[in-house]
Amino acid sequence: MTQQSIASELIAALRVASHVVALTGSGISAESGVPTFRDAQTGLWSKYEPEELATPAAFKRNPKLVWDWYTWRRELIAAAAPNDAHRALVTLAEQVPHFTLITQNVDGLHQAAGSPSVIELHGNIQRTKCLTEEIIIEQWDEHPDRPPHCPNCGSCLRPDVVWFGEPLPTAALSQALDAVGRCDLFLSVGTSALVQPAASLALEAQSTGAQVAEINLQSTPLSPYADFVLRGQAGKILPTLVRTIIEGPSARS
Ligand code: OAD
């Protein structure tokens, strides 16, 4: 089958779907200039693996190194704007009866694009919390030699993101699982489908009868199981799909 005929079949499925779930990964923000998680190590940071920085053990070992890495990523993300793929999902949500957006991204670009409710499985880098009390902290004093300390209890501050080995936020995971159990079409966009439990959501949806579509530059462990696989940039594929749904001859009335 050609990419075009797969796209046509997916468009037909989207037109009749009653509940679409989209799960996004860092590939959807690549065209906004945010490096994907596994490509994130450039310049100063190229000697570190993300797995060496995004863990509770790494923070315990060298809190300043981890804090500085997140400060670099936070600044990079603050300068980024949503792209056509983020915007296409906002429009798609308006075209189907029920739409749930689940993201592994911590960059907030879906919200910046106008997606009203986003389930953030891995937190948000723009929020900071107390390491001990886990409450969100809005203001703190910077210190050049160490991560800032919590103004309430003096413990270290850390980004409000999920590190390797940490559990996902309970409410976000249960909302995601609830939507996955109800959906009839699951879109996996720009994720390597390697990190659990997010990676299992597509197959979970399939096991309850949903069709699964993957949009990715490359093959992933999900690809052999997906009902539709579209290879290419999310920022090109998603707007084309959505435009056709809106303008096509048998558009939803
Ligand atoms: P990865 O960096 O693992 O994968 C990015 C995926 O996006 C790859 O499969 C690329 O082929 C694809 N990709 C890149 N550019 C793309 C584009 N323009 N259009 C479409 N696809 C594109 O990122 P994630 O799957 O998001 O978790 O990684 C999942 C999690 O791994 C992250 O949330 C992070 C990390 O562990 C935590 O920090 C807990």
φ/ψ of residue 207, rounded to 5: -70, -20
- Checking if the pLDDT of 44 tops 80, the result is no
Mean pLDDT of 131-152: 91
Report whether residue 53 contacts ligand 1, using a CB cutoff of 6 Å. no
> With pLDDT > 70 as the criterion, what percentage of the chain qualifies?
95
Closest CA to 220 of 25, 52, 33: 25
The reported pLDDT for the residue numbered 52 is: 77
Report the range of poorest mean pLDDT among 6-15, 21-30, 137-146. Answer: 137-146
Distance 250 CA to ligand 1 centre (A): 34
Q: pLDDT for 48-66, tens place per residue? A: 777 778 999 999 999 999 9
Task: Using the atom order of ligand 1, give the atom closest to the CA of residue 25.
Answer: 26
Q: Annotated catalytic residue: which of 19, 86, 110, 122?
A: 122
Task: Using the atom order of ligand 1, give the atom closest to the CA of residue 24.
Answer: 26
The answer to whether residue 122 is catalytic is yes
Report whether residue 65 contacts ligand 1, using a CB cutoff of 6 Å. no
Mutate to test the pocket of ligand 1, among 217, 220, 233, 237 (most ligand atoms within 8 A of CB): 217
Distance 204 CA to ligand 1 centre (A): 19
The reported pLDDT for the residue numbered 43 is: 57
Name the pLDDT band for 253 (thresholds 50, 70, 90): very low
Distance 189 CA to ligand 1 centre (A): 9
In three-state secondary structure terms, 94 is helix
Report whether residue 233 contacts ligand 1, using a CB cutoff of 6 Å. yes
Q: pLDDT for 175-234, tens place per residue? A: 999 999 999 999 999 999 998 999 999 999 999 999 999 999 999 999 999 999 999 999
Distances in Å between the Cα of 46 and the Cα atoms of 20, 36, 50, 52, 251 are 38, 14, 10, 12, 47
> With pLDDT > 90 as the criterion, what percentage of the chain qualifies?
83
In three-state secondary structure terms, 21 is strand
Residue that the structure tokens 């699982």 belong to: 177
Name the pLDDT band for 142 (thresholds 50, 70, 90): confident
Q: Distance between CA atoms of 201 and 171, rounded to whole angstroms? A: 15
Mean pLDDT of 110-134: 96
Distance 107 CA to ligand 1 centre (A): 12
Mean pLDDT of 81-108: 98
Residue closest by Cα to atom 8 of ligand 1: 192
Distances in Å between the Cα of 170 and the Cα atoms of 50, 124, 162 are 24, 15, 12
Report the range of poorest mean pLDDT among 11-20, 36-45, 102-111, 226-235. Answer: 36-45
Report whether residue 37 contacts ligand 1, using a CB cutoff of 6 Å. yes
The whole-chain average pLDDT of the chain stands at 93
